[in-house]
Amino acid sequence: MSVLRPVEPRREAPGRPGIAPTWTSSAKDIVGCALGPSRVWFTMGYGIVNEVYYPRVDLPQIRDLGFIVADGEGFWVEVKRLGNYTLRLVEPGVPAVEVRHRHERFELHLRVTPDPIRDVLLVELCLDGDAALRPYVLLAPHLGDSGWNNEAAVMELGGRRVLTAEQGPFGLALAAVDERQQDAFGEASAGHVGVSDGWQDFDRHGAMRWQHSVAGPGNVALTGALPRFAVLGLGFGSTAQAAATLAVSSLQGPFERHLARQRDDWRAWHGKVRGQGMGGLLEPASIEAHVGLSAMVLRTLRDQTYPGTMVASLSVPWGNTRDDLAGYHLVWPRDLVACSTALLALGAVDEARDSLRYLIATQAADGYWAQNQWLGGTPHWTGIQLDET
């Protein structure tokens, strides 16, 4: 039986619980999801993965997943701080992304897509340039919508090294394979943010020197060394074991196969709704790509557990300065009506009807809706917003 096992020897990271956690900036490059059974929503900002939501669109589970490029001899760069990158969709209207980070010594190419049938986000990386350089992944778990009380560990599953975290009823696991689909992780470490995390390691030593196996409970982070080409699978589940099983399962298939299914599913959805809507009759060809992008974003904001719900945004306002339980990933009835009307105009009739049913179910007897609410209908802000009354 293949079960998660702690790596030996056990080395506990110092500095518990770490500094106060924050989210990332609400300035996003892109948001996306799959249309299949996958219950993962991802965001990107500054050219890296930001908050990832699971199993509902109102529950972020990580702060970010980024990269350091280093030579092990003192030179190191955190790629999100370069500010020199390009990002594009692999195809208009399809939320799968290609990113290129540029530095005078290297280029780091990333491709990101959800696995359409598993609760896994996939990231393919390729480092070109100076042969002395190597990539390292940095992962900041924020399980259960909070950076506190997370526990991180470097584990093994069937001989593969896996970076894991758990908090309450949630678990995540990050696995990696090389171009031969073999375990790709080299050195790995768990740490407390601001004290013993991977970024602090590079800042102090100019290289990865720490290999702590466990950290937490607290604000934790995980770091792993990678080859110059790798595919990462970030899995989510009710436990780290469940998440690791999903992540490793996803990595048994080629990245291109998952990407092709993501393309096919979204092409089919766009074709269906545009065939039913007014868009093809009204829009000039010059704005067709913008309409497709808007449709993609609107569809991404919808939840699967509560059909008809749409959050206002997959972001936390001023998130890089706070650890609020809620951000804009809540239902504002006002915004839900506006977005559902837009979907209706595009031809997404079924989605708009589901939103109407949800609004009926959450309306008070006097016709009032909460200012905003969690997907299940529990009010969050209880003030009266005049443009919703």
Per residue of the chain (389 residues), what is the pLDDT tens digit?
Answer: 689 999 988 999 999 999 999 999 999 999 999 998 999 999 999 999 999 999 999 999 999 999 999 999 999 999 999 999 999 999 999 999 999 999 999 999 999 999 999 999 999 999 999 999 999 999 999 999 999 999 999 999 999 999 999 999 999 999 999 999 999 999 999 999 999 999 999 999 999 999 999 999 999 999 999 999 999 999 999 999 999 999 999 999 999 999 999 999 999 999 988 766 544 545 566 678 888 899 999 999 999 999 999 999 999 887 665 666 668 899 999 999 999 999 998 889 999 999 999 999 999 998 889 999 999 999 998 877 776 66
266 in any annotated domain: no
Looking at residue 386, its pLDDT comes to 73
Q: Are residues 253 and 281 in the same domain?
A: no
pTM, entire model: 0.95
141 in any annotated domain: yes
Mapping DSSP onto H, E and C, the string for the chain reads: CCCEEECCCCCECCCCCCCCCCCCCCCCCEEEECCCCCCCEEEEECCEEEEEECCCCCCECEEEEEEEEECCCCCEEEHHHCCCEEEEEEECCEEEEEEEEEECCEEEEEEEEECCCCCEEEEEEEEEECCCCEEEEEEEECHHHCCCCEEEEEEEECCEEEEEEEECCEEEEEEEECCCCCECCCCEEEEECCCCCHHHHHHHHCCCCCCCCEEEEECEEEEEECCCEEEEEEEEECCHHHHHHHHHHHHCCCHHHHHHHHHHHHHHHHHHHHHHCCHHHHCCHHHHHHHHHHHHHHHHCECCCCCCCECCCCCCCCHHHCCCCCCCCCECHHHHHHHHHHHHHHCCHHHHHHHHHHHHHHCCCCCCCCCCECCCCCECCCCCCHHHC
Q: Which amino acid is at 365?
A: A
**And the tokens for 69?**
């490029």
Domain that holds residue 151: 4-258
Q: Are residues 316 and 229 in the same domain?
A: no
Looking at residue 289, its pLDDT comes to 81
Looking at residue 317, its pLDDT comes to 83
Question: How much is the CA Rg of the chain, to the nearest whole Å?
Answer: 21
CATH of the domain at 81: 2.70.98.10
9 in any annotated domain: yes
Last residue of a domain, one of 223, 258, 293: 258
Q: Are residues 239 and 198 in the same domain?
A: yes
Whole-number Å distance between alpha carbons of 215 and 180: 31
Q: Are residues 246 and 336 in the same domain?
A: no
Looking at residue 66, its pLDDT comes to 99
Chain centroid to CA 75: how far?
Answer: 28
Q: How far apart are the first and last CA of the chain?
A: 57
Total number of domains constituting the chain? 2
State the pairing for strand pair 134-141/150-157.
unpaired
270 in any annotated domain: no
Q: Are residues 240 and 372 in the same domain?
A: no
- Residue 344: CB atoms within 10 Å: 19
Q: Which amino acid is at 173?
A: A
271 in any annotated domain: no
Q: Are residues 110 and 232 in the same domain?
A: yes
263 in any annotated domain: no
Last residue of a domain, one of 224, 258, 292: 258
Q: Are residues 232 and 311 in the same domain?
A: no
Looking at residue 325, its pLDDT comes to 65
Q: Are residues 307 and 351 in the same domain?
A: yes
The dihedral over CA atoms of 322, 324, 326, 328, expressed in degrees to the nearest 10, equals: -10
Q: Which amino acid is at 287?
A: I
Looking at residue 142, its pLDDT comes to 98
Looking at residue 115, its pLDDT comes to 99
Q: How many residues does the chain have?
A: 389
346 in any annotated domain: yes
Q: Are residues 21 and 147 in the same domain?
A: yes
Q: Are residues 248 and 285 in the same domain?
A: no
Q: Which amino acid is at 359?
A: L
Q: Are residues 296 and 153 in the same domain?
A: no
Looking at residue 182, its pLDDT comes to 96
**Buried b / exposed e along 138-163 (16+ C-beta atoms within 10 A):** bbbbbbbbbbbbbbbbbbbbeebbbb
Which residue, among 298, 294, 312, 304, has the nearest Cα to 354 in the 3D structure? 304
Q: Are residues 245 and 282 in the same domain?
A: no
Last residue of a domain, one of 258, 290, 315: 258
264 in any annotated domain: no
The answer to whether 266 touches 196, Cβ cutoff 8 Å, is no
